[in-house]
Structure 1
Amino acid sequence: MAKNTPKKTTSIYLYIPNIIGYIRIFVNCYAFAQCLNDKKLFVVLYFISFVLDGLDGWCARKFNQVSTLGAVLDMVVDRVSTNSLLVILSQYYSPGLFFLAFLGLDISSHWIQMYSTFLSGKASHKDVKDSNYWLLKTYYGNRIFMAYCCIAAEVFYLILYFIANNQSNSLIDVMINAVRHNSLVRFPLILSMIGWATKQIINVIQIKTSADACVLYDINRKQKP
């Protein structure tokens, strides 16, 4: 049995969804290497990585190649790419703390959710059927709604990145100016901002429910003889 372990391990590394995850890492590395020089190229590459994010999930289900490595890799790549973009935006706009605050919220929400998932013995962090919050259950239970919130958040950040200049301008002033004077940006910016705001509310709820799960785990552990 021990002799077969390396072969089985290697085969999981070579799952199609995991290979897509490796490709995303290289795409993101090149994208962020060019983010200060070529905005159009960065947006295209970032969008390609985002499309691949959806493709790896489809491949995992299609070819029955769901793995813990794939789930962790997918979340890590998502968080690193999104939060790297937030760091860039914090340099383009004032107050930069606005973006850094949501960077912290994003990391905290997903980390504590994953940790509480393992403590609870659940197979997936998306298993929230026992939650008391309908918004959280709708988010993880409805793929269309979840896709809208995730895509909207990324589009919102990408629009802010694309319309920014090299100076640290007021975020509110830039957004108001874009809505008033840029008809191409107006509708996507408003629509994506709604989805982005919804996702931030979900992140807060996720922290609360995950913290409750951690507390419940401690209580149950102390009550055991």
Structure 2
Amino acid sequence: MSVRTRRQIARTAAAEDKPTPSTTNGSPRSRPSDKIAKDDQYENIFLFWPNLVGYARVVLAIASLYYMPLHPRTCSFLYSISCLLDALDGYLARLFHQSTTFGSVLDMVTDRCTTACLLVFLSSAWPRWSIIFQGLISLDLASHYMHMYATLSMGGSGHSHKKVDESRSWILHQYYTSRTVLFIFCALNELFFIGLYLLSFSSPILSPSLLQPTPGSQPLTAQPGNPAHQAPSTLFASPWSAGALEMARANKLDSTIPWIITAVSAPVMAAKQFINVVQLIKASNWLAEGDLAKRKADRAEGKLA
């Protein structure tokens, strides 16, 4: 082995044994991989505070559905708390900087499902008006789904569905920009349906079976609402049939407060449905603009004739 070769081997061995470069105080310098490990800390999105509130809303909504057929006070209380928590999760998201796409979708899905379930009950309570409630369910779901889909597909995954440019829709911009306006519209919209729900237990105008017996009627007859009525179990094969449930609900509440709630919130509910229509139209137009732009690009590339 030559002297030159021995020197090369010695230099290589010395380089391998050389200690890691140190900082001025003697501590080893941090490697880039160490910094990446510190910055890339795992966060459990599902346990963020806003999302925990969202889960609580789901539990309260399910509990309200359990009490909905025969316990109007308990159901209304649980349902109202679930709706009011809708404002809390947004506050916590801003406070803890925990705004997430999952939380936004969870919030919207919870809102749509709880409202739809209440409208389903109203459809069963007043079958002759069921087509109206079915239409409201369809409008609510279609409007918000198309708005969310248009936002994600046209605005990008990082674009919030609540950030609507004023040039695209002045009404939606005002609706989503002001938290106060958004809260009032959503709260009074739900309050209107809660009022209708309470009226199904108290108003003989809307529910004829809640009518008091006519003068001179015989006791123990099958007339709905008669205090001397036979037990529902002797009149209906199933205690959960529509007729048995309507009889069980009869005369449980005074209708004064439910009528006030319904009357006060009705204008805002109507305005909310108008906003749903505008949202549906604007989302449809936005998606159509994307389709036209894509077709124009395909023609430029020769994919379309």
Matches within 5 A, 1:76-155: 76-93=109-126, 94-122=128-156, 123-155=159-191
Distance 2:198 2:261 in 1: 13
Distance 2:206 2:69 in 1: 19
Taking structure 1 as the reference length, what is the TM-score of the superposition?
0.86
> 1:191 Cα shift?
2.1
Provide closer, same or farther for how the CA distance between residues 14 and 129 of structure 1 changes in structure 2, counting only shifts above 3 A. same
Does the Cα contact within 8 Å between 1:87 and 1:100 map onto a contact in 2? Answer: yes
Aligned to 1:17: 50
Consecutive unaligned residues of structure 1, counting only runs of 5 or more, are 175-180
Answer 1 or 2: higher relative contact order, Cα 8 Å, separation at least 6.
1
Question: What RMSD over aligned residues (CA atoms) do the two structures have, in Å?
Answer: 2.7
Aligned to 1:177: none
Aligned to 1:64: 97
Distance 1:160 1:128 in 2: 32
Letter of the 1:205 counterpart = V
Distance 1:169 1:67 in 2: 46
Provide closer, same or farther for how the CA distance between residues 143 and 84 of structure 1 changes in structure 2, counting only shifts above 3 A. same
Does the Cα contact within 8 Å between 1:92 and 1:168 map onto a contact in 2? Answer: no
Question: What is the aligned-residue identity percentage?
Answer: 32
State the Cα deviation string for residues 41-63 of structure 1 (Å, max 9, x = none).
10000011012111101000011
Letter of the 1:207 counterpart = L
Match of 1:198 among 267, 271, 295: 271
2:298 is the counterpart of 1:222 = no
2:184 is the counterpart of 1:184 = no
Distance 1:167 1:189 in 2: 12
Distance 1:167 1:152 in 2: 21
> 1:165 Cα shift?
3.4
Aligned to 1:163: 199
Other structure's SS at 2:42 match: helix
Provide closer, same or farther for how the CA distance between residues 63 and 187 of structure 1 changes in structure 2, counting only shifts above 3 A. same
> 1:33 Cα shift?
1.2
Q: 37-46 or 162-171, which moves further after superposition?
A: 162-171
2:88 is the counterpart of 1:55 = yes
Taking structure 2 as the reference length, what is the TM-score of the superposition?
0.65
Letter of the 2:81 counterpart = I
Provide closer, same or farther for how the CA distance between residues 37 and 190 of structure 1 changes in structure 2, counting only shifts above 3 A. closer
Distance 2:61 2:50 in 1: 16
Aligned length: 214
User: Could you say which structure has the higher helix fraction?
Assistant: 1
State the Cα deviation string for residues 141-176 of structure 1 (Å, max 9, x = none).
2222221111111000001001103999748xx9xx
Does the Cα contact within 8 Å between 2:193 and 2:262 map onto a contact in 1? Answer: no
> 1:121 Cα shift?
2.0
Aligned to 2:108: 75
State the Cα deviation string for residues 187-223 of structure 1 (Å, max 9, x = none).
4322210110000000000000000010011111122
Letter of the 2:270 counterpart = A
